[in-house]
Amino acid sequence: MLVATALVCAAVAAVPPAAWADPQPTRRSLEDVHREVESLYRKAEAATDAYNAADEQAKLQQKNVSDLTERVAAAEKRRQELTDRIGELARSQYRTGGLAPSARLLLAPSPDDFLASLDLTRRGQDATRRLLTETETVKAELDRYAKAADERWKQLKAERKKKEDAKKEIETRLDAARRLESRLADEERARLRKLEEEQARRAQRQWLASDAVKGLPLKDSAGSVTEAGRRAVEFATAQIGKDYVWGAVGPDTYDCSGLTSRAWATAGHPIPRTSQEQWRQLPKVEVKDMRPGDLIIYFSDASHVAMYIGDGTMVHAPRPGRQVTLAGAGSMPILGVVRPG
Protein backbone atom coordinates (compact mmCIF):
# COMPACT_ATOMS: atom_id res chain seq x y z
CA MET A 1 0.00 0.00 0.00
CA LEU A 2 2.81 2.38 0.87
CA VAL A 3 4.43 1.69 -2.50
CA ALA A 4 1.14 2.24 -4.35
CA THR A 5 0.49 5.49 -2.50
CA ALA A 6 3.97 6.73 -3.32
CA LEU A 7 3.48 5.97 -7.01
CA VAL A 8 0.15 7.83 -7.15
CA CYS A 9 1.66 10.86 -5.42
CA ALA A 10 4.57 10.84 -7.83
CA ALA A 11 2.21 10.69 -10.84
CA VAL A 12 0.10 13.57 -9.52
CA ALA A 13 3.19 15.63 -8.85
CA ALA A 14 4.35 15.06 -12.45
CA VAL A 15 1.18 16.66 -13.87
CA PRO A 16 1.68 20.47 -14.23
CA PRO A 17 -1.05 22.74 -12.87
CA ALA A 18 -3.61 24.06 -15.37
CA ALA A 19 -2.24 27.58 -14.91
CA TRP A 20 1.07 26.45 -16.34
CA ALA A 21 -0.40 24.77 -19.49
CA ASP A 22 1.43 25.62 -22.73
CA PRO A 23 -0.81 27.88 -24.89
CA GLN A 24 1.13 27.07 -28.07
CA PRO A 25 -0.74 23.92 -29.24
CA THR A 26 -3.88 25.98 -30.12
CA ARG A 27 -1.80 28.48 -32.07
CA ARG A 28 0.09 25.73 -33.85
CA SER A 29 -3.21 24.09 -34.70
CA LEU A 30 -4.49 27.31 -36.24
CA GLU A 31 -1.27 27.72 -38.20
CA ASP A 32 -1.66 24.15 -39.44
CA VAL A 33 -5.20 24.98 -40.55
CA HIS A 34 -3.87 28.09 -42.27
CA ARG A 35 -1.22 26.11 -44.15
CA GLU A 36 -3.72 23.45 -45.19
CA VAL A 37 -6.33 25.99 -46.31
CA GLU A 38 -3.74 27.94 -48.29
CA SER A 39 -2.49 24.72 -49.88
CA LEU A 40 -6.02 23.76 -50.90
CA TYR A 41 -6.71 27.19 -52.39
CA ARG A 42 -3.38 27.12 -54.23
CA LYS A 43 -4.22 23.73 -55.73
CA ALA A 44 -7.66 25.01 -56.68
CA GLU A 45 -6.07 28.02 -58.36
CA ALA A 46 -3.68 25.79 -60.32
CA ALA A 47 -6.68 23.71 -61.41
CA THR A 48 -8.47 26.94 -62.36
CA ASP A 49 -5.62 27.80 -64.72
CA ALA A 50 -5.93 24.32 -66.25
CA TYR A 51 -9.70 24.85 -66.55
CA ASN A 52 -9.23 28.23 -68.24
CA ALA A 53 -6.64 26.81 -70.65
CA ALA A 54 -8.93 23.90 -71.57
CA ASP A 55 -11.83 26.31 -71.99
CA GLU A 56 -9.80 28.49 -74.37
CA GLN A 57 -8.71 25.46 -76.39
CA ALA A 58 -12.26 24.11 -76.49
CA LYS A 59 -13.51 27.43 -77.88
CA LEU A 60 -10.72 27.41 -80.48
CA GLN A 61 -11.45 23.83 -81.52
CA GLN A 62 -15.18 24.58 -81.68
CA LYS A 63 -14.47 27.46 -84.08
CA ASN A 64 -12.17 25.21 -86.12
CA VAL A 65 -14.88 22.56 -86.33
CA SER A 66 -17.44 25.16 -87.42
CA ASP A 67 -15.08 26.54 -90.09
CA LEU A 68 -14.28 23.06 -91.38
CA THR A 69 -17.96 22.12 -91.42
CA GLU A 70 -18.63 25.12 -93.65
CA ARG A 71 -15.76 24.12 -95.94
CA VAL A 72 -17.00 20.53 -96.11
CA ALA A 73 -20.48 21.78 -97.06
CA ALA A 74 -19.06 24.10 -99.76
CA ALA A 75 -16.82 21.33 -101.16
CA GLU A 76 -19.71 18.87 -101.16
CA LYS A 77 -21.90 21.37 -103.01
CA ARG A 78 -19.16 21.94 -105.61
CA ARG A 79 -18.61 18.19 -105.97
CA GLN A 80 -22.32 17.69 -106.60
CA GLU A 81 -22.31 20.44 -109.25
CA LEU A 82 -19.38 18.80 -111.03
CA THR A 83 -21.02 15.39 -110.82
CA ASP A 84 -24.18 16.84 -112.38
CA ARG A 85 -22.13 18.33 -115.24
CA ILE A 86 -20.40 15.01 -115.89
CA GLY A 87 -23.81 13.37 -115.93
CA GLU A 88 -25.04 15.93 -118.42
CA LEU A 89 -22.07 15.16 -120.70
CA ALA A 90 -22.90 11.49 -120.54
CA ARG A 91 -26.55 12.15 -121.35
CA SER A 92 -25.55 14.41 -124.25
CA GLN A 93 -23.36 11.67 -125.71
CA TYR A 94 -26.22 9.21 -125.37
CA ARG A 95 -28.54 11.57 -127.24
CA THR A 96 -26.05 11.70 -130.16
CA GLY A 97 -26.20 7.97 -130.57
CA GLY A 98 -23.49 7.04 -128.08
CA LEU A 99 -20.66 7.76 -130.55
CA ALA A 100 -17.42 9.08 -129.15
CA PRO A 101 -16.44 12.58 -130.40
CA SER A 102 -13.53 11.12 -132.41
CA ALA A 103 -15.91 8.76 -134.23
CA ARG A 104 -18.33 11.56 -135.06
CA LEU A 105 -15.36 13.57 -136.36
CA LEU A 106 -14.45 10.84 -138.87
CA LEU A 107 -18.04 10.76 -140.11
CA ALA A 108 -18.07 14.47 -140.97
CA PRO A 109 -19.79 14.98 -144.40
CA SER A 110 -17.23 17.51 -145.72
CA PRO A 111 -13.73 18.88 -145.08
CA ASP A 112 -15.18 22.14 -143.72
CA ASP A 113 -17.40 20.25 -141.33
CA PHE A 114 -14.38 18.10 -140.36
CA LEU A 115 -12.25 21.16 -139.48
CA ALA A 116 -15.10 22.79 -137.57
CA SER A 117 -15.77 19.57 -135.71
CA LEU A 118 -12.04 19.12 -135.02
CA ASP A 119 -11.83 22.46 -133.19
CA LEU A 120 -15.09 21.82 -131.37
CA THR A 121 -13.98 18.33 -130.38
CA ARG A 122 -10.62 19.57 -129.09
CA ARG A 123 -12.29 22.22 -126.99
CA GLY A 124 -14.81 19.70 -125.69
CA GLN A 125 -12.05 17.27 -124.74
CA ASP A 126 -10.12 20.02 -122.95
CA ALA A 127 -13.23 21.03 -121.05
CA THR A 128 -13.93 17.41 -120.13
CA ARG A 129 -10.36 16.91 -118.83
CA ARG A 130 -10.60 20.10 -116.78
CA LEU A 131 -13.94 18.98 -115.42
CA LEU A 132 -12.61 15.56 -114.43
CA THR A 133 -9.45 17.08 -112.90
CA GLU A 134 -11.47 19.59 -110.90
CA THR A 135 -13.80 16.83 -109.74
CA GLU A 136 -10.85 14.79 -108.44
CA THR A 137 -9.36 17.87 -106.76
CA VAL A 138 -12.65 18.67 -105.04
CA LYS A 139 -13.03 15.07 -103.89
CA ALA A 140 -9.51 15.10 -102.41
CA GLU A 141 -10.24 18.46 -100.77
CA LEU A 142 -13.49 17.10 -99.34
CA ASP A 143 -11.68 14.08 -97.89
CA ARG A 144 -9.01 16.33 -96.37
CA TYR A 145 -11.58 18.62 -94.77
CA ALA A 146 -13.55 15.65 -93.45
CA LYS A 147 -10.45 14.13 -91.85
CA ALA A 148 -9.43 17.48 -90.37
CA ALA A 149 -12.93 17.99 -88.96
CA ASP A 150 -12.85 14.52 -87.41
CA GLU A 151 -9.48 15.30 -85.79
CA ARG A 152 -10.77 18.63 -84.49
CA TRP A 153 -13.78 16.85 -82.98
CA LYS A 154 -11.45 14.49 -81.14
CA GLN A 155 -9.40 17.41 -79.85
CA LEU A 156 -12.57 19.23 -78.80
CA LYS A 157 -13.74 16.19 -76.83
CA ALA A 158 -10.31 15.90 -75.18
CA GLU A 159 -10.32 19.58 -74.14
CA ARG A 160 -13.85 19.27 -72.78
CA LYS A 161 -12.72 16.25 -70.76
CA LYS A 162 -9.74 18.24 -69.39
CA LYS A 163 -12.12 21.07 -68.53
CA GLU A 164 -14.49 18.77 -66.66
CA ASP A 165 -11.64 17.09 -64.79
CA ALA A 166 -10.23 20.48 -63.77
CA LYS A 167 -13.70 21.60 -62.67
CA LYS A 168 -14.06 18.54 -60.43
CA GLU A 169 -10.64 19.15 -58.90
CA ILE A 170 -11.43 22.83 -58.26
CA GLU A 171 -14.72 21.98 -56.57
CA THR A 172 -13.10 19.22 -54.50
CA ARG A 173 -10.34 21.53 -53.25
CA LEU A 174 -12.70 24.41 -52.53
CA ASP A 175 -15.16 22.17 -50.68
CA ALA A 176 -12.33 20.81 -48.52
CA ALA A 177 -11.09 24.35 -47.75
CA ARG A 178 -14.59 25.55 -46.89
CA ARG A 179 -15.17 22.56 -44.59
CA LEU A 180 -11.93 23.31 -42.76
CA GLU A 181 -12.82 26.98 -42.33
CA SER A 182 -16.40 26.21 -41.32
CA ARG A 183 -15.16 24.21 -38.32
CA LEU A 184 -13.51 27.31 -36.89
CA ALA A 185 -15.29 29.56 -34.43
CA ASP A 186 -15.79 33.21 -35.40
CA GLU A 187 -12.88 34.23 -33.19
CA GLU A 188 -10.62 31.64 -34.79
CA ARG A 189 -11.61 32.75 -38.29
CA ALA A 190 -10.72 36.32 -37.35
CA ARG A 191 -7.36 35.11 -36.04
CA LEU A 192 -6.85 33.11 -39.23
CA ARG A 193 -7.44 36.25 -41.32
CA LYS A 194 -4.95 38.17 -39.15
CA LEU A 195 -2.46 35.34 -39.55
CA GLU A 196 -2.78 35.64 -43.35
CA GLU A 197 -2.29 39.41 -43.18
CA GLU A 198 0.73 39.10 -40.89
CA GLN A 199 2.32 36.57 -43.21
CA ALA A 200 1.73 38.84 -46.23
CA ARG A 201 3.19 41.88 -44.43
CA ARG A 202 6.24 39.89 -43.34
CA ALA A 203 6.83 38.67 -46.89
CA GLN A 204 6.44 42.22 -48.23
CA ARG A 205 8.99 43.60 -45.76
CA GLN A 206 11.48 40.89 -46.68
CA TRP A 207 10.92 41.56 -50.38
CA LEU A 208 11.43 45.32 -50.00
CA ALA A 209 14.69 44.65 -48.14
CA SER A 210 15.96 42.17 -50.76
CA ASP A 211 18.38 42.75 -53.63
CA ALA A 212 15.58 41.95 -56.10
CA VAL A 213 14.06 45.42 -55.75
CA LYS A 214 17.24 47.49 -55.75
CA GLY A 215 16.70 50.19 -58.34
CA LEU A 216 12.90 49.79 -58.35
CA PRO A 217 11.38 53.27 -57.90
CA LEU A 218 9.03 53.08 -54.92
CA LYS A 219 8.02 56.72 -55.04
CA ASP A 220 6.12 58.46 -57.85
CA SER A 221 6.72 55.47 -60.14
CA ALA A 222 3.62 56.35 -62.16
CA GLY A 223 5.79 58.61 -64.25
CA SER A 224 7.09 55.67 -66.27
CA VAL A 225 3.69 54.23 -67.14
CA THR A 226 2.60 54.04 -70.79
CA GLU A 227 -0.83 55.20 -71.92
CA ALA A 228 -2.02 51.60 -72.40
CA GLY A 229 -0.56 50.65 -69.01
CA ARG A 230 -2.34 53.56 -67.37
CA ARG A 231 -5.70 52.45 -68.85
CA ALA A 232 -5.07 48.86 -67.75
CA VAL A 233 -4.28 49.99 -64.19
CA GLU A 234 -7.33 52.25 -64.09
CA PHE A 235 -9.56 49.37 -65.18
CA ALA A 236 -8.05 46.86 -62.73
CA THR A 237 -8.23 49.19 -59.73
CA ALA A 238 -11.84 50.09 -60.61
CA GLN A 239 -12.73 46.42 -59.98
CA ILE A 240 -11.60 46.53 -56.33
CA GLY A 241 -14.24 44.99 -54.09
CA LYS A 242 -15.63 42.57 -56.69
CA ASP A 243 -15.70 38.89 -55.79
CA TYR A 244 -13.25 36.26 -56.96
CA VAL A 245 -14.98 33.50 -58.93
CA TRP A 246 -12.91 30.87 -60.74
CA GLY A 247 -13.16 31.04 -64.51
CA ALA A 248 -14.72 34.54 -64.42
CA VAL A 249 -13.60 37.43 -66.65
CA GLY A 250 -16.04 40.09 -65.46
CA PRO A 251 -17.80 42.33 -65.45
CA ASP A 252 -19.02 41.47 -61.94
CA THR A 253 -16.59 38.75 -60.85
CA TYR A 254 -13.04 37.73 -61.77
CA ASP A 255 -10.35 35.17 -61.23
CA CYS A 256 -6.74 36.34 -61.16
CA SER A 257 -5.95 36.05 -64.87
CA GLY A 258 -9.49 37.03 -65.79
CA LEU A 259 -8.82 40.41 -64.18
CA THR A 260 -5.45 41.00 -65.87
CA SER A 261 -6.53 39.81 -69.31
CA ARG A 262 -9.72 41.88 -69.21
CA ALA A 263 -7.82 44.97 -68.02
CA TRP A 264 -5.34 44.81 -70.90
CA ALA A 265 -8.07 43.98 -73.44
CA THR A 266 -9.92 47.09 -72.27
CA ALA A 267 -6.68 49.04 -72.73
CA GLY A 268 -6.68 47.91 -76.38
CA HIS A 269 -3.97 45.30 -76.04
CA PRO A 270 -5.37 41.71 -75.81
CA ILE A 271 -3.16 39.20 -73.99
CA PRO A 272 -3.42 35.43 -73.29
CA ARG A 273 -6.22 34.36 -70.96
CA THR A 274 -4.31 32.28 -68.39
CA SER A 275 -1.49 33.24 -66.03
CA GLN A 276 0.67 30.39 -67.37
CA GLU A 277 0.27 31.56 -70.97
CA GLN A 278 0.84 35.17 -69.94
CA TRP A 279 4.12 34.03 -68.38
CA ARG A 280 5.03 31.91 -71.41
CA GLN A 281 4.14 34.33 -74.20
CA LEU A 282 4.67 37.88 -72.94
CA PRO A 283 8.09 39.63 -72.82
CA LYS A 284 9.84 39.25 -69.47
CA VAL A 285 11.40 42.14 -67.54
CA GLU A 286 13.48 42.36 -64.38
CA VAL A 287 11.65 43.02 -61.12
CA LYS A 288 13.72 46.20 -60.60
CA ASP A 289 12.50 47.46 -64.00
CA MET A 290 8.78 47.01 -63.25
CA ARG A 291 6.42 49.78 -64.20
CA PRO A 292 2.66 50.16 -63.65
CA GLY A 293 0.65 47.81 -65.85
CA ASP A 294 3.26 45.05 -65.81
CA LEU A 295 2.07 41.65 -64.65
CA ILE A 296 3.69 39.85 -61.71
CA ILE A 297 3.58 36.07 -61.99
CA TYR A 298 3.61 34.14 -58.72
CA PHE A 299 4.60 30.63 -57.60
CA SER A 300 6.78 28.16 -59.46
CA ASP A 301 3.87 26.86 -61.56
CA ALA A 302 2.82 30.40 -62.65
CA SER A 303 -0.63 29.77 -61.20
CA HIS A 304 -1.30 33.32 -59.95
CA VAL A 305 -0.95 36.73 -61.54
CA ALA A 306 -1.39 40.32 -60.38
CA MET A 307 -0.94 43.76 -61.91
CA TYR A 308 1.74 46.10 -60.60
CA ILE A 309 0.40 49.61 -59.98
CA GLY A 310 3.53 51.29 -58.60
CA ASP A 311 5.11 52.05 -55.21
CA GLY A 312 5.63 48.35 -54.45
CA THR A 313 1.89 47.61 -54.69
CA MET A 314 -0.19 45.34 -56.89
CA VAL A 315 -3.89 44.76 -57.53
CA HIS A 316 -5.21 41.22 -57.85
CA ALA A 317 -8.10 38.80 -57.40
CA PRO A 318 -6.70 36.65 -54.55
CA ARG A 319 -8.84 33.52 -54.22
CA PRO A 320 -12.40 32.26 -53.59
CA GLY A 321 -13.98 33.97 -50.62
CA ARG A 322 -11.97 37.14 -51.24
CA GLN A 323 -12.44 40.26 -53.34
CA VAL A 324 -10.25 42.14 -55.81
CA THR A 325 -7.88 44.13 -53.63
CA LEU A 326 -4.54 45.89 -53.28
CA ALA A 327 -1.59 44.12 -51.69
CA GLY A 328 2.17 44.29 -51.44
CA ALA A 329 3.80 43.13 -54.65
CA GLY A 330 6.18 40.93 -52.65
CA SER A 331 3.56 39.34 -50.41
CA MET A 332 3.77 36.05 -52.37
CA PRO A 333 6.69 34.20 -53.98
CA ILE A 334 7.44 35.97 -57.30
CA LEU A 335 8.30 33.83 -60.32
CA GLY A 336 8.89 36.79 -62.62
CA VAL A 337 7.43 39.86 -64.34
CA VAL A 338 6.03 40.22 -67.87
CA ARG A 339 5.16 43.31 -69.87
CA PRO A 340 2.04 43.21 -72.11
CA GLY A 341 2.79 46.48 -73.90
Q: Which residues pair with 254 in a beta bridge?
A: 244, 249
- For the chain, the distance separating the N- and C-terminal CA atoms, rounded to the nearest angstrom, is 87
* Distance (Å, whole) CA 130 – CA 151: 31
Q: Return the half-sphere exposure (C-beta side, CA atoms, 13 A cut-off) of residue 16.
A: 5
Q: Is the dihedral of CA 171, 172, 173, 174 positive or negative?
A: positive
Q: What is the side-by-side strand order in the sheet with 313-316?
A: 284-285, 334-338, 295-298, 304-310, 313-316, 325-328
Q: Is the dihedral of CA 242, 32, 303, 315 positive or negative?
A: positive
Catalytic site positions: 256, 304, 316
* Distance (Å, whole) CA 326 – CA 62: 37
